[in-house]
């Protein structure tokens, strides 16, 4: 799949990404810079792949916003909340979306290597970002946090390198909530590749 050149589809892509960016900004999901970066990432994803890849991105945005604002006042009271209202910024968007965007841009060469590979890698990238967001946003609610490099050492929630059972289970949930609809939306080939890899673990 090469970059989209149909003028109508390009206009639709701009409209969809513009509406998405405007909504996430007005709803307090992302701040201004985060919304602008999400706009350009979404645009690249649609133009180099199709709207179904963009839908996976929307699922990710919706889910991570829900866990960010969940018990936000409590998290902010402990100095662990994002932004002023739970909104995320440029750094969050880039760290969570740059790999998926790169996979989308490289769709053709990746598919040339193995059918379904680009879809599979895109889902993995977005699911990994969701796992990280779920782990950090829900994991900070646990008081039983231990340093990953020193498992016997208990640390305050939000400490870099701190892990908890709540955070790890939340990460798994976040990954599944993105990966399952992603596999259904994108490709039976990607699903087959995921199954093959899983069976060889």
Task: For residue 138, tell me if it sits in a domain.
Answer: yes
Rounded mean pLDDT, 125-135: 93
Q: pLDDT tens for residues 23-53?
A: 888 888 788 999 999 999 999 999 999 888 9
The DSSP symbol for 88 reads B
Q: What is the gyration radius of the CA atoms in the chain, in angstroms? A: 18
Task: For residue 25, tell me if it sits in a domain.
Answer: no
The residue assigned the tokens 């307090």 is 28
Q: pLDDT tens for residues 131-170?
A: 988 988 887 777 777 666 666 676 666 666 677 788 889 9
Task: For residue 141, tell me if it sits in a domain.
Answer: yes
Task: For residue 5, tell me if it sits in a domain.
Answer: no
Q: Which contiguous run of DSSP H or E holds residue 77?
A: helix 72-77
90: pLDDT strictly greater than 90: no
Distance CA 153, CA 143 (A): 13
Q: How many structural domains does the chain have? A: 1
Task: For residue 98, tell me if it sits in a domain.
Answer: yes
Task: For residue 73, tell me if it sits in a domain.
Answer: yes
Q: Angle CA(133)–CA(18)–CA(89) in degrees, nearest 5? A: 35
Task: For residue 19, tell me if it sits in a domain.
Answer: no
Task: For residue 89, tell me if it sits in a domain.
Answer: yes
The range of the structural domain enclosing residue 154 comes to: 52-199
């Amino acid at each position: 799949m090469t970059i989209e050149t149909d003028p109508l589809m390009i206009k639709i892509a701009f409209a969809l990404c513009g509406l998405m960016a405007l909504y996430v900004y007005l709803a307090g999901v992302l701040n201004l810079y985060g919304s602008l970066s999400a706009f350009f990432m979404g645009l690249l994803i649609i133009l180099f792949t199709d709207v179904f890849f963009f839908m996976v991105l929307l699922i990710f945005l919706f889910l991570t916003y829900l866990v960010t604002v969940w018990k936000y006042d409590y998290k902010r009271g402990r100095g662990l909340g994002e932004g002023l209202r739970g909104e995320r910024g440029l750094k969050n968007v880039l760290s969570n979306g740059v790999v998926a965007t790169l996979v989308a841009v490289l769709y053709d060469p990746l598919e040339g290597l193995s059918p379904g590979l680009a879809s599979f890698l895109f889902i993995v990238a977005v699911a990994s970002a969701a796992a990280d967001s779920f782990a950090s946003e829900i994991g900070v609610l646990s008081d039983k946090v231990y340093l990953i490099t020193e498992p016997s050492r208990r640390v305050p929630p939000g400490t870099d390198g701190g892990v908890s059972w709540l955070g790890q289970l939340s990460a798994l949930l976040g990954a599944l909530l993105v990966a399952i609809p992603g596999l259904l939306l994108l490709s039976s080939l990607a699903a087959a590749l995921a199954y093959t890899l899983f069976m060889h673990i």
